[in-house]
Amino acid sequence: MSKDVGDSIKASNADWNFSGDVHKTFDSHVSKSVPLYKQGHKVISQLSDYFIKDGSVIYDVGSSTGELFSSMLGRTNKTDVRFIGIEPINEMVNTANEKHNENENVFFINDDIVNVELEPADMIISYYTLQFIPPKYRQVIVDKIYQTLNWGGAFLMFEKVRAPDARFQDIMNELYVDYKLEQGFDSKEIFTKTRSLKGVLEPFSTAGNIDLMKRAGFVDYMSIMKYVNFEGFLAIK
Protein backbone atom coordinates (compact mmCIF):
# COMPACT_ATOMS: atom_id res chain seq x y z
CA MET A 1 0.00 0.00 0.00
CA SER A 2 1.45 3.34 -1.09
CA LYS A 3 1.82 6.13 1.45
CA ASP A 4 2.83 9.77 1.22
CA VAL A 5 6.56 10.58 1.40
CA GLY A 6 6.08 14.32 0.81
CA ASP A 7 5.48 16.63 -2.18
CA SER A 8 2.50 14.50 -3.31
CA ILE A 9 4.79 11.52 -3.96
CA LYS A 10 3.64 8.11 -2.76
CA ALA A 11 5.72 4.97 -2.25
CA SER A 12 5.38 1.45 -0.87
CA ASN A 13 7.62 -0.58 1.41
CA ALA A 14 10.91 -1.51 -0.33
CA ASP A 15 9.51 -0.27 -3.64
CA TRP A 16 10.74 3.28 -4.23
CA ASN A 17 10.96 4.20 -7.92
CA PHE A 18 11.07 7.31 -10.08
CA SER A 19 8.26 6.47 -12.51
CA GLY A 20 4.60 7.47 -12.44
CA ASP A 21 3.90 11.00 -11.21
CA VAL A 22 7.23 11.46 -9.40
CA HIS A 23 8.53 13.69 -12.21
CA LYS A 24 5.87 16.33 -11.46
CA THR A 25 7.37 17.33 -8.09
CA PHE A 26 10.78 15.66 -8.29
CA ASP A 27 12.86 18.85 -8.47
CA SER A 28 11.24 20.27 -5.36
CA HIS A 29 11.35 16.97 -3.47
CA VAL A 30 14.99 16.14 -4.16
CA SER A 31 16.13 19.70 -3.42
CA LYS A 32 14.68 19.36 0.07
CA SER A 33 15.80 15.75 0.54
CA VAL A 34 19.47 16.07 -0.42
CA PRO A 35 21.62 18.64 1.40
CA LEU A 36 23.43 21.11 -0.86
CA TYR A 37 21.62 19.72 -3.90
CA LYS A 38 21.46 22.99 -5.82
CA GLN A 39 24.90 24.03 -4.59
CA GLY A 40 26.24 20.79 -6.09
CA HIS A 41 24.78 21.80 -9.45
CA LYS A 42 26.54 25.15 -9.13
CA VAL A 43 29.90 23.56 -8.29
CA ILE A 44 29.63 21.21 -11.28
CA SER A 45 28.76 24.14 -13.53
CA GLN A 46 31.78 26.06 -12.28
CA LEU A 47 34.04 23.05 -12.75
CA SER A 48 32.85 22.70 -16.34
CA ASP A 49 34.94 25.79 -17.18
CA TYR A 50 38.03 23.61 -16.85
CA PHE A 51 36.91 20.72 -19.03
CA ILE A 52 34.53 21.89 -21.79
CA LYS A 53 36.31 22.49 -25.09
CA ASP A 54 35.15 23.18 -28.63
CA GLY A 55 33.17 20.14 -29.76
CA SER A 56 32.95 18.63 -26.26
CA VAL A 57 30.41 16.00 -25.28
CA ILE A 58 29.06 16.10 -21.72
CA TYR A 59 27.04 13.21 -20.30
CA ASP A 60 24.72 13.25 -17.30
CA VAL A 61 24.07 9.68 -16.17
CA GLY A 62 20.66 9.52 -14.53
CA SER A 63 19.64 12.97 -15.75
CA SER A 64 16.08 12.85 -14.31
CA THR A 65 14.29 16.09 -15.33
CA GLY A 66 17.40 17.66 -16.87
CA GLU A 67 17.76 20.30 -14.17
CA LEU A 68 21.56 20.02 -14.00
CA PHE A 69 21.87 21.00 -17.65
CA SER A 70 19.69 24.04 -16.89
CA SER A 71 22.42 25.12 -14.49
CA MET A 72 25.24 24.46 -16.96
CA LEU A 73 23.80 25.96 -20.13
CA GLY A 74 24.99 29.39 -21.13
CA ARG A 75 28.17 29.13 -19.10
CA THR A 76 30.42 28.33 -22.05
CA ASN A 77 31.13 30.13 -25.33
CA LYS A 78 32.72 27.02 -26.83
CA THR A 79 31.17 25.87 -30.09
CA ASP A 80 29.42 22.60 -30.99
CA VAL A 81 29.16 21.47 -27.36
CA ARG A 82 26.58 18.74 -26.78
CA PHE A 83 24.89 17.93 -23.48
CA ILE A 84 23.52 14.38 -23.41
CA GLY A 85 21.38 13.04 -20.58
CA ILE A 86 20.88 9.31 -20.06
CA GLU A 87 17.72 8.45 -18.13
CA PRO A 88 15.76 5.15 -18.02
CA ILE A 89 12.46 6.62 -16.75
CA ASN A 90 10.27 7.72 -19.65
CA GLU A 91 8.31 10.32 -17.67
CA MET A 92 11.53 11.99 -16.54
CA VAL A 93 12.81 12.16 -20.13
CA ASN A 94 9.56 13.71 -21.32
CA THR A 95 9.83 16.39 -18.64
CA ALA A 96 13.48 17.03 -19.50
CA ASN A 97 12.66 17.37 -23.20
CA GLU A 98 9.92 19.86 -22.41
CA LYS A 99 12.31 21.84 -20.24
CA HIS A 100 14.96 21.99 -22.98
CA ASN A 101 12.85 21.98 -26.13
CA GLU A 102 14.49 25.21 -27.34
CA ASN A 103 18.06 24.06 -26.68
CA GLU A 104 19.38 22.42 -29.84
CA ASN A 105 22.56 21.20 -28.15
CA VAL A 106 20.74 19.25 -25.40
CA PHE A 107 19.64 15.64 -25.94
CA PHE A 108 18.14 12.95 -23.72
CA ILE A 109 18.40 9.19 -24.23
CA ASN A 110 15.62 7.11 -22.68
CA ASP A 111 17.68 4.06 -21.71
CA ASP A 112 20.00 2.56 -19.11
CA ILE A 113 23.67 3.53 -19.39
CA VAL A 114 24.62 -0.17 -19.58
CA ASN A 115 22.83 -0.33 -22.94
CA VAL A 116 24.05 2.97 -24.39
CA GLU A 117 27.07 3.16 -26.68
CA LEU A 118 28.93 6.24 -25.48
CA GLU A 119 31.10 8.49 -27.62
CA PRO A 120 34.32 10.12 -26.38
CA ALA A 121 33.49 12.76 -23.78
CA ASP A 122 35.25 15.50 -21.82
CA MET A 123 32.92 15.42 -18.83
CA ILE A 124 30.65 12.74 -17.38
CA ILE A 125 28.42 13.37 -14.38
CA SER A 126 26.69 10.92 -12.07
CA TYR A 127 24.66 13.03 -9.66
CA TYR A 128 23.22 10.79 -6.92
CA THR A 129 22.65 8.00 -9.44
CA LEU A 130 24.97 5.05 -8.74
CA GLN A 131 23.46 4.61 -5.27
CA PHE A 132 20.25 3.40 -6.95
CA ILE A 133 22.00 0.97 -9.29
CA PRO A 134 22.51 -2.60 -8.03
CA PRO A 135 26.09 -2.94 -6.73
CA LYS A 136 26.90 -5.73 -9.19
CA TYR A 137 26.65 -3.24 -12.07
CA ARG A 138 28.47 -0.27 -10.55
CA GLN A 139 32.02 -1.26 -11.38
CA VAL A 140 30.95 -2.03 -14.95
CA ILE A 141 29.48 1.46 -15.24
CA VAL A 142 32.46 3.29 -13.73
CA ASP A 143 34.77 1.25 -15.98
CA LYS A 144 32.69 2.34 -18.96
CA ILE A 145 32.85 5.96 -17.86
CA TYR A 146 36.64 5.83 -17.51
CA GLN A 147 37.03 4.26 -20.94
CA THR A 148 34.71 6.86 -22.50
CA LEU A 149 36.50 9.92 -21.13
CA ASN A 150 39.11 11.67 -23.19
CA TRP A 151 42.51 12.03 -21.53
CA GLY A 152 42.18 14.95 -19.12
CA GLY A 153 38.40 14.53 -18.96
CA ALA A 154 36.44 14.74 -15.71
CA PHE A 155 34.14 12.36 -13.87
CA LEU A 156 31.88 14.03 -11.30
CA MET A 157 30.28 11.54 -8.92
CA PHE A 158 27.96 12.61 -6.10
CA GLU A 159 26.62 9.96 -3.75
CA LYS A 160 25.01 9.39 -0.39
CA VAL A 161 27.72 7.59 1.60
CA ARG A 162 27.88 5.18 4.50
CA ALA A 163 29.96 5.96 7.58
CA PRO A 164 33.14 3.97 8.32
CA ASP A 165 31.61 2.29 11.39
CA ALA A 166 28.28 1.75 13.19
CA ARG A 167 28.69 4.56 15.71
CA PHE A 168 29.31 7.18 13.04
CA GLN A 169 26.49 5.73 10.94
CA ASP A 170 24.04 6.17 13.82
CA ILE A 171 25.14 9.78 14.23
CA MET A 172 24.80 10.52 10.52
CA ASN A 173 21.35 8.92 10.35
CA GLU A 174 20.06 11.05 13.21
CA LEU A 175 21.55 14.24 11.77
CA TYR A 176 19.90 13.46 8.44
CA VAL A 177 16.51 12.95 10.13
CA ASP A 178 16.94 16.33 11.83
CA TYR A 179 17.79 17.88 8.46
CA LYS A 180 14.64 16.50 6.80
CA LEU A 181 12.46 17.68 9.67
CA GLU A 182 13.94 21.16 9.21
CA GLN A 183 13.01 21.00 5.51
CA GLY A 184 9.34 20.52 6.40
CA PHE A 185 8.93 16.74 6.08
CA ASP A 186 6.94 15.22 8.93
CA SER A 187 7.97 12.09 10.83
CA LYS A 188 5.52 9.83 8.96
CA GLU A 189 6.81 10.99 5.57
CA ILE A 190 10.41 10.44 6.64
CA PHE A 191 9.66 6.96 8.00
CA THR A 192 7.69 5.96 4.90
CA LYS A 193 10.45 7.19 2.57
CA THR A 194 13.07 5.27 4.56
CA ARG A 195 11.01 2.05 4.34
CA SER A 196 10.42 2.53 0.61
CA LEU A 197 14.18 2.76 -0.02
CA LYS A 198 15.01 -0.61 1.54
CA GLY A 199 16.95 -2.65 -1.01
CA VAL A 200 16.65 0.20 -3.52
CA LEU A 201 19.11 2.79 -2.22
CA GLU A 202 22.39 1.08 -1.27
CA PRO A 203 25.15 3.60 -0.56
CA PHE A 204 28.84 2.71 -0.49
CA SER A 205 31.26 4.32 1.95
CA THR A 206 33.65 7.05 0.86
CA ALA A 207 36.36 4.39 0.59
CA GLY A 208 34.06 2.11 -1.40
CA ASN A 209 33.33 4.83 -3.96
CA ILE A 210 37.02 5.67 -4.26
CA ASP A 211 37.74 1.98 -4.84
CA LEU A 212 35.29 2.00 -7.77
CA MET A 213 37.24 4.84 -9.37
CA LYS A 214 40.65 3.31 -8.65
CA ARG A 215 39.70 -0.08 -10.09
CA ALA A 216 38.41 1.65 -13.24
CA GLY A 217 41.81 3.29 -13.72
CA PHE A 218 41.48 6.73 -12.14
CA VAL A 219 44.64 7.90 -10.37
CA ASP A 220 43.75 11.54 -9.73
CA TYR A 221 40.64 12.10 -7.61
CA MET A 222 39.48 14.13 -4.64
CA SER A 223 36.42 14.97 -2.56
CA ILE A 224 35.00 18.35 -3.57
CA MET A 225 31.87 18.58 -1.42
CA LYS A 226 30.77 16.91 1.81
CA TYR A 227 27.76 17.31 4.09
CA VAL A 228 27.48 14.60 6.74
CA ASN A 229 26.48 11.53 4.64
CA PHE A 230 26.45 13.18 1.20
CA GLU A 231 29.65 13.59 -0.81
CA GLY A 232 30.85 14.71 -4.21
CA PHE A 233 34.02 13.51 -5.96
CA LEU A 234 36.03 14.81 -8.89
CA ALA A 235 38.20 12.35 -10.81
CA ILE A 236 40.36 13.29 -13.79
CA LYS A 237 41.57 10.80 -16.38
> Domain range spanning residue 178?
3-236
Strands 9-11 and 3-6: antiparallel
Q: What is the pLDDT of residue 27?
A: 87
Number of domains in the chain: 1
Q: What is the pTM of this model?
A: 0.95
Task: Tell me how many helices (H) and strands (E) the chain has.
Answer: 8, 10
For the chain, how big is the Rg over CA atoms in Å?
A: 17
- Mean pLDDT across 111-124: 96
State the Cα angle at 95 between 106 and 63, rounded to 5°. Answer: 55
What Å distances lie between residue 155 and 103, 166, 176, 201, CA to CA? 24, 30, 26, 21
Distance, in Å, from the CA atom of 3 to the CA atom of 9, rounded to the nearest integer, reads 8
Distance, in Å, from the CA atom of 206 to the CA atom of 195, rounded to the nearest integer, reads 23
The mean predicted confidence, pLDDT, of the chain is: 94
What confidence tens digit (pLDDT) does each residue in 9-66 have? 777 887 777 888 878 888 899 999 999 999 999 999 999 999 999 999 999 999 999 9
pLDDT band at 6 (very low <50, low <70, confident <90, very high): confident
Lowest mean pLDDT among 2-6, 39-43, 140-144: 2-6
* Residues forming beta bridges with residue 3, ordered by sequence position: 11
Distance, in Å, from the CA atom of 65 to the CA atom of 45, rounded to the nearest integer, reads 17
Q: 152: domain CATH number?
A: 3.40.50.150
